[in-house]
Amino acid sequence: MNRFFLLLFLFLQTLVAFSQTTIKGKVTDATTGDPIPFASVLLLGTTTGMNTDFEGNYELKTSSQVDSIQVSYLGYLTQTKALSKEPLQTLNFQLRPSDFELEAFVFEAGENPAFEIIRRAVDRKKDFDKRNLDAYETKNYTKIEIDIDEVSDKFTQRKSVQKVTAILDSIQQLKDDEGEKILPIFFSETVSKFYFRNDPVLKKEIVEKSKVTGVGITDGSTTSQITGSVFQEYNFYKNWLSILNKEFVSPIADGWKTFYDYDLMDSVLVGKDSCYMLQVYPRQEEDLAFAGTIWINKETYALKQVDLTIPKTANLNFIERIKIQQELEPISSGHLIPSKSRVQIKIAQVTKNTAGLLAKFYTATDSVVLTDPKPTSFFNNAVELKPDFGNATDEFWQKSRIDPLTQEELAVLQMVDTLKKIPVVRFYSEGLKFFASGFLPVGKVDLGPWTEFGNYNNVEGLRGGFGLRTNYKFSKKWLLQGYGAYGFKDERFKYSIFATRILDRKRWTTVQLKTFKEIDQVGLEMESLAGNSVFLAASRFGTLRRPFISTGNQLNFQREFFKGFLFTGGLRKSEFDPLFDFYFLDKKSREYRSSFETMEARFGLRYGRDEIIIINDNERVSLGPDTWPIVEVNFTKGLRWLGGDMSYEKFSFYVYQRLKMGLLGVSRYEFDAGKIFGEVPYPILKNHLGNGTLFYTTAAFNTMNFNEFASDQYMSLRYRHFFEGFLLNRIPLMRKLKWRAVANANILFGSVRNENILNVPGVDPEGNTLESFGRLDPNRPYVELGYGVENIFKFFRVDFFHRMTYLDVPDAKPFVVKVSAQIIL
């Protein structure tokens, strides 16, 4: 009898097993092919359902007789599919985005129940914000994919594009018929260790392994420094998140009620945690705020998951969508670390005849270690590559990936490898790099910069030139660069040649020898504009103002002693040969002269506490600071005993900072002060840069004429504020235009001491006035105030400036209008 019941029990269990159905699959975005996490999957007619995981996967088991399954998620069209009678079924869903519209919610008496949840989450931010940890380390895996999408018909009909598509037709398509075709151009994978220290706040990433493939990518070392996790960090416990150099307000910011509305949608189980599911809506459609869903732990009020999007209505240019999905996990201290993050940035077509761009970033954290803070010297380089970062086997990548590459991603790799070998693609990619960087790589040398190839002005007439430099293929210790030019009107050769020896790449240390002969302009010296080749070329076009021939030799040295602290020093011998009427009173002979020689010893210190520096092949490149200012101190000593015609000292102090003002926008200020000791001709004085053109520039005083003022002691503050959409977004008829208000305030104190008054260009040897020349009153500042509107038709900006002082100076302009074109987000 016992055996009978045992057999009966096993038989019934077998029937149950055979009657149970398992349905699994993956839910993805039909336009991008990316997983959709947290989507709702429901067997219709039952209560059986679940949410997809971070990779978009689901698996349901049921013994009920059901005939269809439904997938839904906010911002996407709901999709239903029929089920078969098979015991194991795989059904993948590709959801298409729907137009997201903000709904109006009406609450009855009492406060919105979501407000109390948000209030408690904000009150407990300090308990979960990882920035409050003394120090921690994480091991991260990051992958980046960049695709061309939304390819227009006219774009595909171009002969160059047809050559590419003809070759790619044989490659596996990235999506099935429910998706849309994309053209991948870049793919990277990076394994790195990230280090954080709280006091002082310092960050560092060591890239252990990196694999980069992309159209136009020649050397992976530079690209690998910016493909790690440090550039893909999104912390919603900050009040403001910086994305694409714009400031977006967090849904749990301290001032949340100013920016957001919320709706309590449901109470759901996420893993083992019971969570509130809240819908988030911007109060103002044009604000830089998120829309989407957040999950908050019921017990702790910690963020569990976020799925947020910047709506199309936000005051942004060219950006069709920014989407951030994140999964957070508590560590032993209770603080939260994002375990997985996925970011999509979709750049729209600039015109109907062009293509769009889609960038996808994925970061997974494998392990988190709480540790004692590392010494500050450890953080000298914000990003560091291990010597063998580019050497890794396929087995290493298979073990390092938190999730294996999908079939779509494998197809992306194949397509990118094929694309970069196509001649027409290489031609266009190298052409774009040539235009952007100024140099065209040809083997071990780079030709350029292209700005030196040709120009025209009233002194040189037609100017032709040619230049080149060595690259990392030639040497990683030597950089040789030079150019030559010839003016067909003045019949003079000009040149600049220098050799740089890189002594230490970790603590950036170089020594450089340089020789030159070039046309310069007083107040627009080539040396001060060396970092802006386009502006330098533009300043040499047309009519040159107070031009002179500068000939000389230079020795430069620089070393970074610790993170952000750079020392520079050197010697410079140069000759000033004016090409305009110029005289000065020689201090020694007390006679008037027109040309002179200088011998200078120079020393400088530069400190940027949180400035991010990368090494671009054989150059040190700054990606700018985050919060702290950049400070520079420079000292120059003019040496008569080493061949100079005069002895003098110059001291200068400079501070630049970008200020995040939250709701009010972003400000930038530059403070510049200096003093020159000794009797010197006015080209050695501080010639304050004016702007006599129609075009706006941040480098000049825009109501000041060229060479209007010079000083031997000065102090200036230049302040610019960008309201973003703060003011104009609140005006009903203006908000649709997406115009943005800007403001300027420039103040200058300066003076010329008695010993240098006679050395200004307004006096010739006979005492006759050659031209008007103003001198600043030390008790009366030069002040100009400006206001304007940017983002007009997405590209144009108009500024209105009022000159508030020195209106009695000849040719003074009390009011000017400046225009400019810019590409901004």
Which residues, other chains included, contact 25 with Cβ-Cβ below 8 Å and sequence gap of 6+?
Answer: 57, 58, 90, 91, 92, 93
Assess whether pLDDT exceeds 90 at residue 433.
no
**CA 527/CA 529 separation, integer angstroms:** 5
**CA 130/CA 196 separation, integer angstroms:** 10
For residue 386, the number of C-alpha atoms closer than 13 Å in the C-beta half-sphere is 16
Assess whether pLDDT exceeds 90 at residue 784.
yes
Tokens 């020093």, located at residue: 569
For residue 702, the number of C-alpha atoms closer than 13 Å in the C-beta half-sphere is 27
Write 3-7 long-range contacts (CB < 8 A, 24+): none
The answer to whether 750 touches 325, Cβ cutoff 8 Å, is: no
Q: What does the pLDDT average to over 668-672? A: 94
3-state secondary structure of 211: strand
Q: Provide the pLDDT confidence category of residue 744 given band limits of 50, 70 and 90.
A: very high
Which secondary-structure segment (H or E) carries 718? Answer: strand 713-722
- Residue 150 is predicted with a pLDDT of 66
Beta strands in 663-737 (DSSP E): 666-677, 686-687, 710-711, 713-722
Assess whether pLDDT exceeds 50 at residue 348.
yes
- Residue 350 is predicted with a pLDDT of 66
Q: Name the residue with higher pLDDT: 301 or 14.
A: 301
Structure tokens at 438: 């100024």
Crossing angle of the two packed helices 159-168 and 423-437, in degrees rounded to 10: 130
Which residues, other chains included, contact 242 with Cβ-Cβ below 8 Å and sequence gap of 6+?
Answer: 248, 626, 660
Tens digits of per-residue pLDDT, 364-376? 888 888 989 998 8
Tens digits of per-residue pLDDT, 188-228? 888 899 999 888 888 888 888 888 888 767 665 667 677 76
Which secondary-structure segment (H or E) carries 486? Answer: strand 478-487
Q: What does the pLDDT average to over 631-654? A: 93
Spatial CA neighbour of 637 closest among 672, 683, 684, 603: 603
Q: What does the pLDDT average to over 42-56? A: 84
3-state secondary structure of 292: strand
- Residue 491 is predicted with a pLDDT of 93
**CA 431/CA 426 separation, integer angstroms:** 8
Tens digits of per-residue pLDDT, 245-289? 788 899 999 989 888 999 998 888 887 889 999 999 898 888 889
- Residue 154 is predicted with a pLDDT of 59
- Residue 241 is predicted with a pLDDT of 87
Spatial CA neighbour of 685 closest among 783, 808, 572, 773: 773
Q: What does the pLDDT average to over 675-699? A: 87
- Residue 708 is predicted with a pLDDT of 85
User: What Rg, from alpha-carbon coordinates, does the chain have?
Assistant: 32
- Beta bridge partners of residue 592, listed in sequence order: 585
| pTM to 2 decimal places | 0.79
Structure tokens at 249: 């307000």
Helices (H), 20-141: 113-123, 125-128
**CA 807/CA 812 separation, integer angstroms:** 6
The answer to whether 553 touches 581, Cβ cutoff 8 Å, is: no
Which residues, other chains included, contact 394 with Cβ-Cβ below 8 Å and sequence gap of 6+?
Answer: none
Q: Provide the pLDDT confidence category of residue 6 given band limits of 50, 70 and 90.
A: low
Q: Which of 435-449, 517-531, 700-714 has the highest mean pLDDT?
A: 700-714
Measured in degrees and rounded to the nearest 5, phi and psi for residue 229 equal -75, -20
List, in order of start, the domains of the chain with CATH numbers.
Answer: 2-95 (2.60.40.1120), 114-426 (no CATH), 502-821 (2.40.160)
Tens digits of per-residue pLDDT, 498-534? 999 999 988 899 999 999 999 988 877 766 666 556 5
Least confident range from 17-26, 732-741, 796-805: namely: 17-26
Spatial CA neighbour of 89 closest among 68, 111, 115: 68
Tokens 């070392």, located at residue: 221
